[in-house]
Amino acid sequence: MNSTKTETIQEGMSTPGHDQVASDAVLHTPSPMQGEPRALVKRLSIIDRLLTPAILLAMITGVLIGEFVPGVQAAFDTVRLQSVSVPIAIGLIVMMYPILTKVQYESLLRTLPTREMLAQLLLSFILNWIVAPFIMLALAWATLPDLPAYRAGVLMVGVARCIAMVMVWTDLARGNMEYCAILVVVNSTLQIVLYAPYALFFINVVGGQGAGNAIHVSYGDAAISVLIYLGIPLAAGLITRMLFLYLTSRTFLYTYVLPYLGPIAPLGLLYTVIVLFAYQGHHIVHDIGPVFRVMVPLILYFTIMWVGTFALVRWLGRRRGKGWGYDITVVQSFTAASNNFELAIAVAIAVYGVGSQQALAATIGPLVEVPVLLSLTWVALYLGRKLDWDSEGRQEPCEGPSVEGRVEKSDEMKEATVQK
């Protein structure tokens, strides 16, 4: 009888409609190296598979629009809310709203007071506000010693911690969205307070910016940018989730709401990429030499921060037995490697002007960050399957279109197992 039950459950798990997360045996089954990339692609949803070529196409489209459509940059600049570009803000709000609707806010109050969460917050603060800015400073000086204006733009990107795109990368890499949401909220609060003094220190004091080009950043600009880019989608996501949970049920939310909101996020991302590339398409084409030079410190920065954080968090988890699994490692890695390019671009344009070298350098940030971190999501998924993760923490990345969908499937399988 028990043998029959086991065979039935295993057959159910091998069915394409079920998730591998329900079976440790399936998760840890070794596979040949040559089959891993193809298997990894099959585990992703159709939208995730098409996202990489779609982003590349969006980048090319944006550059072509910026180069051959006259007045597109001026048109974007006419629609602004103080230092915030409305076209960019629309894309970011649309991109982040579905992701922030997935966050399980109802469980955050149980997570915040834990020692593990406090340890994650401390580690995130050290990586984001102490280590990362100085690494960007060193790379900017090493690669752009003769280009102070471009160096200032790179530093403006380096001191702006990410509050938007990191949730996209974490979601694609199957990280812990609840932890990511907490880190984003904390970094957003710190950014309102710290961005202005950090920008003044790293650009004027140690960045080598001349007295005539000294930067002046107000707390108001930073606060308004954070409020719009994060506050609006956060409030919308929270209200949507709580409203459906209160009026309907958790099953209704996961079955009839979240699956239809999910595809909106990639569309918002593609729109944002097109707008950003169109915004500086003309400068990218005609200042191609400095553009390529600015890309060097940015590529090195994103790679060093991601790889270093990934290795550090994995080492800490294994050495101290904290149970920091794959999903926590991914959150810390993408949080440390991502930057708030929206704020950096807005401040650079407000301080130096839309056609300045500083603004161009700041705009190169997302042009490099998007393809590099998108590639690193594939690296993360591959490492999540290949490396041996501690049994105390969450395991390898789950497959499927969304975290909620995977949780629901897992719950259904557990109930089916109990009934059998």
Q: Residue 221's closest CA among 363, 350, 113, 319? A: 350
Residue recorded with tokens 């570009």 = 85
pTM over 0.85: no
Query: Rounded to whole angstroms, how far apart are CA atoms 334 and 369?
Result: 11
**Topology of the domain comprising 45-382:** Na+/H+ antiporter like fold (1.20.1530)
**pLDDT of res. 162:** 78
**pLDDT of res. 243:** 94
Please say whether the beta carbons of 128 and 187 come within 8 A: yes
**pLDDT of res. 137:** 93
**pLDDT of res. 409:** 43
Using one digit for the tens of pLDDT, what is the confidence trace for 335-369? 999 888 777 877 777 677 766 788 788 878 877 88
Residue recorded with tokens 């090493």 = 142
**pLDDT of res. 242:** 92
* Residue ranges, the chain, pLDDT below 70: 1-45, 48, 81-84, 108-112, 164, 207-223, 226, 320-323, 350, 354-355, 390-420
Q: What secondary structure does DSSP assign to 165-186, as a single string?
A: HHHHHHHHTT--HHHHHHHHHH
**pLDDT of res. 16:** 38
Backbone angles phi, psi at 79, to 5 degrees: -110, 90
Domain ranges of the chain: 45-382
Query: Rounded to whole angstroms, how far apart are CA atoms 111 and 119?
Result: 12
**pLDDT of res. 213:** 55
Q: Residue 174's closest CA among 359, 3, 43? A: 43
Please say whether the beta carbons of 368 and 374 come within 8 A: no
